[in-house]
Amino acid sequence: MVEAIWTTTEKDGRITVHLIDQRELPTREIDVPCRTHKEMADAIREMVVRGAPAIGISAAFGIALGAQEDLAPSDGLSFSSYMEEVALTIGQTRPTAVNLFWAIERMRPVWQKIASHPSRERTRILFAEAQAIKDDDIQRNRKIGTHGQALLPSKATVLTHCNAGALATGGYGTALGVIRGAVEAGKSVSVFADETRPYLQGARLTAYELAADGIPTTLITDSMAAMVMSQGRIDAVIVGADRIAANGDTANKVGTYGLSVLAREHGIPFYVAAPFSTIDPRTPNGQAIPIEERSAREVTHAGERRMAPEGISVYNPAFDVTPARNISAIITERGVFRPQELSDYLSSASSQEPVSQA
């Protein structure tokens, strides 16, 4: 299975974090090496790496890179303030996926605790923590796959949007993890993948991943989803999430909200698959989720080719919010929750995950 993020150790003992350039897939598999936290911040902002859990993992590795840099001060006090600057740079890359802030929040007590350790030791510990976040994400996704597959019949056609697969996570995927879990459980699953305008994560990444796995996949443009639903060809819609608010409202790739309305109209279950690192109990509802707006060029151009007249005004929100009432269930590593059940669970003390705010 394709990997989005991995590390290598150089001869001098320094660690390089590698990203597969997701802007170039599926035609070219290009390795983007990151050696500084600024390189990692740029890679997140420019969407070399994307997908909420993968952004969080990259942020954690970016922090470890910051500690490894020659600029890192040797005394404990200055190290802590330097690391806050590193975290600020990384935290200003993409605003919607809460996993970014969750990962920074998880790394912070680690760098604070080891501030007075020798530099090599600090670097080693912070890279180990980032790697643990990645490994943990894969375990969470496998559990999401196990819980989620039970919701699907033995023969199912699933519609998915964007890419919530191995490329968007540490590995295995969330929405695609459910599909993979169903296939591993012996179910016969086929997929309709929305192309996902304007960035085409569905056409470029989901189609690439599922084809590599040999899972039968049909690519459609986003505007065809209503048609295939009306034809009775879809058993379930499964999507990932960038941030799930305390009331269950969910931000995900723009177009997800529309799919949820269509699914309700056609009586099709609409599932969100996400780890608890994507759930943000500090954001009360969808209206409070910061929505990233991206450049007009993503809409006006297809690659290098201009598709719209010069000077046209463009609105390009990268995400939209699906209200909790349109979500049949949220599939997590801790089990399957209806939105209200998740909301109740979040109010209980046992649910706590370290989540920070944008």
Ligand X SMILES: CSC[C@@H](O)[C@@H](O)C(=O)COP(=O)(O)O
Interacting stretch for ligand X, rule CB under 6 A, among 46-54, 186-194, 280-288, 340-348?
A: 46-54
Task: Count interface residues toward ligand X (CB under 6 A).
Answer: 17
Examine residue 242 and tell whether it contacts ligand X (CB under 6 A): yes
Q: Cα–Cα distance between 168 and 227 in angstroms, integer? A: 28
Q: How many whole angstroms separate alpha carbon 65 and alpha carbon 86?
A: 9
50 has binding-site annotation: yes
Rounded CA gap, 331 and 174, in Å? 9
Shortest separation between residue 240's beta carbon and ligand X, angstroms: 3
Residue 52 as a binder of ligand X (CB under 6 A): the answer is yes
Cα–Cα distance measured from residue 284 to residue 317, given in angstroms and rounded to the nearest whole number: 21
* Closest distance to ligand X from the beta carbon of 257 (Å): 12
- AA letter at 310: E
Does residue 114 bind ligand X (CB under 6 A)? no
Choice from 5, 43, 50, 146 touching ligand X (CB under 6 A): 50
Least Å distance, CB 355 to ligand X, is 16
Q: State in angstroms the smallest separation of the CB of 316 from ligand X.
A: 11
241 binds ligand X (CB under 6 A): yes
148 binds ligand X (CB under 6 A): no
Catalytic pick among 194, 242, 249, 280 = 242
CB of 140 to ligand X, least distance (A): 11
Which region among 68-76, 218-226, 239-247, 323-331 touches ligand X (by CB under 6 A)? 239-247
Our finding on whether 53 is near ligand X (CB under 6 A) is: yes
Active-site residue flag, 242: yes
From CA 311, how far away is CA 119, in angstroms rounded? 51
Is 51 known as a binding-site position?
A: yes
287's tokens: 């209206």
Amino acid at 189: V
> Binder to ligand X among 131, 149, 201, 343 (CB under 6 A)?
201
Binding mask 169-198 for ligand X (x = CB under 6 A): x----x------------------------
| Residue 201 marked in a binding site | yes
Question: Residues 289-318 vs ligand X: string with x where CB under 6 A?
Answer: -----------------------------x
In angstroms, the CA 320 to CA 243 distance is 11
95 contributes a contact to ligand X by CB under 6 A: no
* 253 annotated as a binding-site residue: yes
Pick from 15, 34, 48, 164 the residue near ligand X by CB under 6 A.
164
CA distances for 35 relative to 8, 80, 257, angstroms: 11, 20, 38
Q: Does 168 bind ligand X (CB under 6 A)?
A: yes
Given a contact cutoff of 8 angstroms between Cβ atoms, the answer to whether 177 and 144 are in contact is yes
The annotation status of 316 as a binding-site residue, yes or no, is: no
Annotated binding site for substrate: 50-52, 94, 201, 252-253
Q: Which residues bind ligand X (CB under 6 A)?
A: 50-53, 97, 162, 164, 168-169, 174, 201, 240-242, 252-253, 318
Q: Which residues are catalytic?
A: 242
